[in-house]
Amino acid sequence: MNDDMETEPMVSFGPSSNYVGSNNQQRRRRPAGSKPEKPRRQNSFSRDIGHAAAETYLITRLTFTLLRYLGLGYRWISRLVALGCYAMLLLPGFLQVAYYYFFSSQVRRSVVYGDQPRNRLDLHFPTNNDGPKPVVVFVTGGAWIIGYKAWGSLLGRQLAERDIIVACLDYRNFPQGTISDMVKDVSQGISFVFNNIADYGGDPNRIYLMGQSAGAHISSCALLEQAVKESTGESISWSTSHIKYYFGLSGGYNLLNLVDHCHNRGLYRSIFLSIMEGEESLPVFSPAVRIKDPSIRDASSLLPPIILFHGTSDYSIPSDASMAFADALQKVGAKPELVLYPGKSHTDLFLQVSHDWMALECLIQLID
């Protein structure tokens, strides 16, 4: 990876507006006069080791289950070898982040938000407790197959050091679940944050939603689905109007355009369609397509300001995906902004936003 720390993003169009969410959302609050719960260390070193072993076992078991679906073709073997070599190069950094994740007192791991096995989230806390903090809800990527809450540790650590609470959501992956399960899990996780984050020192009136890669797709589906429910008067447990901003990093928002692209990249068409519940479901789970439906036009006005980030050298999901989604949003009266990073790949962009001081400062100015 050759990240240029001086790279300036290109803003394509549409400055996002200042947005203040409503205060009418019903949520659980802590008793008056009580102090926010402080982040706690695990009771013992042995408990930390046991937790790490259990998480490793889960990932290993799901990996072997996935391989049974994919088969062991040459393309997958070559990509796994390439990924292993890339991981070895990043190992020193991984070890540092892993130590922080498992042993830092500023991380509260595996907070339960639902009744499914993967309905867990990690909370990354600032070091001080001087008042309610802004909150970023982060949905990790992973090709809808290997997403995991720990992948957000680097971003969580960097934002926590800048006085922001980060909630990294886990959700069911394929083959444990399909796209509707993933969207349901993410929506339930967002609801938990809205209704409980005050107990952890967060400000329920300053909540931001962020997704990366497949996580950007899933979280945008959850956001649009919630806006549709809200516009039709359905009972809801959280409101899109209370999201201050939505940040989408390297996301794919039109599945119809991704089927063949992903097939050529190694995520075979049969597997892709199994994840997305069949070809007939592709438009339903394509926010860039669904937002054009006249029957849900009222939902677009309920969406928060949206900022889409993409690298122009992204071959996993081309930057055209974010460009087309931003264009579709603008046409229905939403508030999109598109930020392109010249020469940045799929991985480069996430690492830059997670680690680059300038990129983080841009986000923090919006969050503050």
Each residue's pLDDT tens digit in the chain (368 positions)? 444 444 445 544 444 434 333 444 444 445 555 555 554 544 566 776 777 777 777 767 676 666 665 555 556 666 667 767 766 766 666 788 788 888 899 999 999 999 998 999 999 999 988 889 999 999 999 999 999 999 999 899 989 998 999 999 999 999 999 999 999 999 999 999 999 999 999 999 999 999 999 999 999 999 999 999 999 999 899 999 899 999 999 999 999 999 999 998 888 899 999 999 999 999 999 999 999 999 888 899 999 999 999 999 999 999 999 999 999 999 998 989 999 989 998 877 777 666 554 555 566 666 66
Among all residues, which ones are annotated catalytic?
213, 314, 346
Q: Tokens in use for 88?
A: 């070895």
* Model pLDDT, residue 37: 53
CA distance linking residue 173 with residue 317, whole number of Å: 19
Q: What is the pTM of this model?
A: 0.77
CB contact set of 104 (below 8 Å; sequence gap of 6+): 157
The H-or-E segment that residue 267 falls in is none
CA distance linking residue 111 with residue 125, whole number of Å: 13
CB-CB contact of 155 with 253 (8 Å)? no
φ, ψ for residue 122, nearest 5 deg? -105, 140
Q: In what order do the strands lie in the sheet with 107-112?
A: 10-13, 336-341, 306-311, 243-249, 202-212, 133-139, 165-169, 120-124, 107-112
CA distance linking residue 238 with residue 261, whole number of Å: 34
* Chain centre to alpha carbon of residue 16: 20
CB contact set of 29 (below 8 Å; sequence gap of 6+): 198, 199
- Determine the length of the chain: 368
CA distance linking residue 263 with residue 346, whole number of Å: 17
CB-CB contact of 169 with 198 (8 Å)? no
Q: Tokens in use for 45?
A: 């070193």
